[in-house]
Every structure is written in C-alpha cells, then in structure tokens.
Amino acid sequence: ARERYVAARPKSAAAHARARAVLPGGNTRSVLFYTPFPTAMAKGEGCWLEDIDGHRYLDLIGEFTAGLFGHSNPRIQAVLQATIANGLNLTAVGENEAKLGEILCARFPSLERVRFTNSGTEANLMALAAARAHTGKSKILGFYGGYHGGAMTFAGGGSPVNAPYPVILAQYNDIEGTVAMIRENAADLAAVILEPMMGGGGCIPATRDFLATMRAEATAAGAVLIFDEVMTSRHTAGGLQRLHGVTPDLTTLGKYMAGGMSFGAFGGKAEVMSVFDAYREGSMPHSGTFNNNVLSMAAGTVAMGELFRDEEADALRARGEALRAALNQVCARHGVAMQFTGIGSMMQPHFRTGPIIRPYASTPAEDALRELFFLDLMAAGIYTARRGMVALTLPVGDAEAARYVAAVEEFCEARKPLLA
C-alpha cells in the first residue's frame, strides 16, 4: 500500500523534499505530517479536492471542522470579494464584529460577552488568562489527551504538556478521580478546561453526568469552567452545551465560524469577561492585529447569520448520526475489531472493540491498521485525517457518504485477517 502511495505521487514527494530544507519536518502544522510524506493539495471545489499530482478526492475531513461550508460556497466567496474591494487593514473597529458578537451571544447559552482572536489556540490561552485574573488563582485542570491548540496539547503517557500555565491532568469521563483532584487543588485552581467531546483525542464524547459534575464541582471550588467548543460547537447552533443542557462559565470557539477564514473567539459570563473591560481600572489588555480583521468578521456574519443556523446544524448532526450508524453496522456485520465513535458529523475509527470512554495508547497493531486504512482510502480517492478522523461538510450529500461506507466495507473485506 505504501509503495503504491509513493509511486502515484512524484510531485508531492518532491514538494515535501523541498519543504524540508526550510521547514522542520517539512510543514508548519504538526497534524498534517505523516510518513512517507504528506499529499500536497492544489485546489478544492465543494467537497472535492485535487492534489498536485492530479488525483481527485472526496474531502471528508473539511479542514478539521473549519471547512464546514465546503471549498467554494458562493455566498462566502461573494462576501469576501465585496470586502476585499473595500480595502484591507483599516486599523479600526468596524460594524461586523458587533454583529457577529450578537449572533454568537444569542445562540450559545454561556455567552454574555465575547471577544475575537485569530485562532482557537489563542482563544483558549485568553480564556485561561481571564480565568486566572478573575479568580486570582494559578492552576489549570485539564484532561489527558485533550487538545486545546498548538500551545496546549495535553498528551497522555507522561509526555510533556506544552502549556504556558501550571497544569494538572485528570482522566476524561472519570468522575470520581476528577472530583477528588478538583477538591484537593481548590485553593489554587483557576480553571477546569475540557472539550465536551474530545476531538483530536479520538472523537470521544463526555457523558452528560461527567459534564454536569464538572459544572457543580468547578463552582464549589471557585474555579472557572471552560468548555472548549472550537470543534464541537457545530453539533447544534449553540454547541454541545446546548445539547447537554450544561452551561460553562466560559466557552472557546473557532474553526468554521468565519466561513473558513482564520478565526477564534472566547466568551462567557459578563462578570468574568469584565476583566477585559477597558472602562475598568486595571483591566487586562487583549490586543491582536488581526483579531477583528475585516475578512473574518464579514465572512463570519454571513456564515453564522445566514448559512449555519438551527436548521442546518440539526440536519448536519442527523446526517452524521446516520452515517456513523451505517459504518458501525458494516463493522458489526463483518465481525471485525473496528468501530466509529463520535457525535453527529464528527467521527473517528478505532481498531478495537468495547466501549471507548477516554484516549488510550494504541498498540503497534492498531497503528499499522490506522496507516493501512488511510492508505486504502487515499487509493480509493477519499481524503480523511491521517488518524482517520472524519468531519462532514455541508456539501457532502448522501451519495458521497455512501462512497465512504462502501470504502469501509471494502476495507473490512480486504483486510479481514488483520482485523480479528
């Protein structure tokens, strides 16, 4: 499978060799690195991609959820072109940032006030800074396998935590252990941060009980509860917090919300967010040249105000649920050690049976299967994350979803001996 991958991609191989001379590892996004070399894409349309060697792929990763609207949504292209015509970099506030703020605050239960950033990473960093300033405490409680951006990757297995604040880590969905840790650290604990479904950690949902317990315990400990909904916000028009009926103090957002332009946001209780209120003496500064860049703000008002509302979010979640059910039926019918976890339009294959409630260290056999699955999908013209994650985009229809189900069926048949 590897030889076939390499032989079909001479231009991607050359591009990678050239990139390695100036970029460590050959790129600037760790998630896009894989051996023997990553496929370089040339262009996209709707839910289709074309690589620089001329192969076409069904795009089932959609920029890790940021590409929700597809590659060529006409409404988004039009608003971007109209915005460009009025000039970039105006060094001023505009009208769209308040409009986008109104849209988001009306939809997310926890958002009374919101601020914009360039990325989800920054949104999380600023949310944690706000929590520390608000509480006057220092520590952050996160979860093994949690991903909160390039500066906050809480890898498991004792590998380093690259966060700028003192962090303690608990096990996801472990109510008893986490409660004990929160109580022990209450005096120093500024924030508890978690994704209400782990995305990068393997599309593993938190139970509602776990989220509700975190809510109660954070309050009791005088800590700020932060939901990182950078990925999961797509599951309803008001995020997973709305689906579960559990409201955090702060929420962080990002990805698709600016129609595919770079974006991040954080917000929540007015009382906590007031640390940034410039009318207040000693308020915390939060600058950023591109925080309110005109392209993200204009595309965001259209994307969130017109293109992705309750109806679209609910339909997308239903389509994802149906796809995951179909995939798991295929796995069950073949009796293979393979399953898909997730919620709605986000899902992840795992090469093991039994319930998966938190990230785990995969075995070498699982790693080998993951690579083989990816290579087989690439050969079938289907592009997913290297780790297998799927994030549906709005242009993906029933026929495209069926293509993926057929490819999984094919994989189960062809690789059955390896999937015992």
The contact set with ligand PMP (CB under 6 A) reads: 64, 119-121, 124, 147-149, 195, 199-200, 228, 230-231, 254, 264
Closest CA to 192 of 161, 158, 168, 175: 168
Q: Residue 125: CB partners within 8 Å, gap ≥ 6?
A: 149, 151, 152, 164
CA distance 115 to 306: 21
Amino acid at 203: C
The residue among 5 and 147 lying less far from ligand PMP, judged by its C-beta, is 147
The residue among 101 and 120 lying less far from ligand PMP, judged by its C-beta, is 120
Nearest approach in angstroms of CB 66 to ligand PMP is: 7
Q: Within a 10 A sphere around the Cβ of 34, how many other Cβ atoms?
A: 13
CA distance 229 to 240: 7
Structure tokens at 97: 């940032």
Structure tokens at 128: 């944690």
Nearest approach in angstroms of CB 229 to ligand PMP is: 8
Q: Is residue 315 classed as helix, strand or coil in its secondary structure?
A: helix
CA distance 255 to 120: 7
Nearest approach in angstroms of CB 253 to ligand PMP is: 9
Q: Are 61 and 70 in contact (CB under 8 A)?
A: no
Nearest approach in angstroms of CB 235 to ligand PMP is: 13
The residue among 39 and 251 lying less far from ligand PMP, judged by its C-beta, is 251
Structure tokens at 282: 């000693």
The residue among 148 and 234 lying less far from ligand PMP, judged by its C-beta, is 148
The residue among 70 and 200 lying less far from ligand PMP, judged by its C-beta, is 200
Nearest approach in angstroms of CB 200 to ligand PMP is: 5
Closest CA to 59 of 385, 317, 315: 385
The residue among 72 and 262 lying less far from ligand PMP, judged by its C-beta, is 262
Nearest approach in angstroms of CB 89 to ligand PMP is: 21
CA distance 347 to 315: 16
The residue among 5 and 108 lying less far from ligand PMP, judged by its C-beta, is 108
Q: Is residue 25 classed as helix, strand or coil in its secondary structure?
A: helix
361-to-336, 343, 352, 364, 369 alpha-carbon distances in Å:
20, 22, 12, 10, 14
Nearest approach in angstroms of CB 64 to ligand PMP is: 5
The residue among 149 and 260 lying less far from ligand PMP, judged by its C-beta, is 149
DSSP code, position 71: S
Nearest approach in angstroms of CB 296 to ligand PMP is: 12
Q: Are 299 and 96 in contact (CB under 8 A)?
A: no
CB nearest ligand PMP: which residue? 120
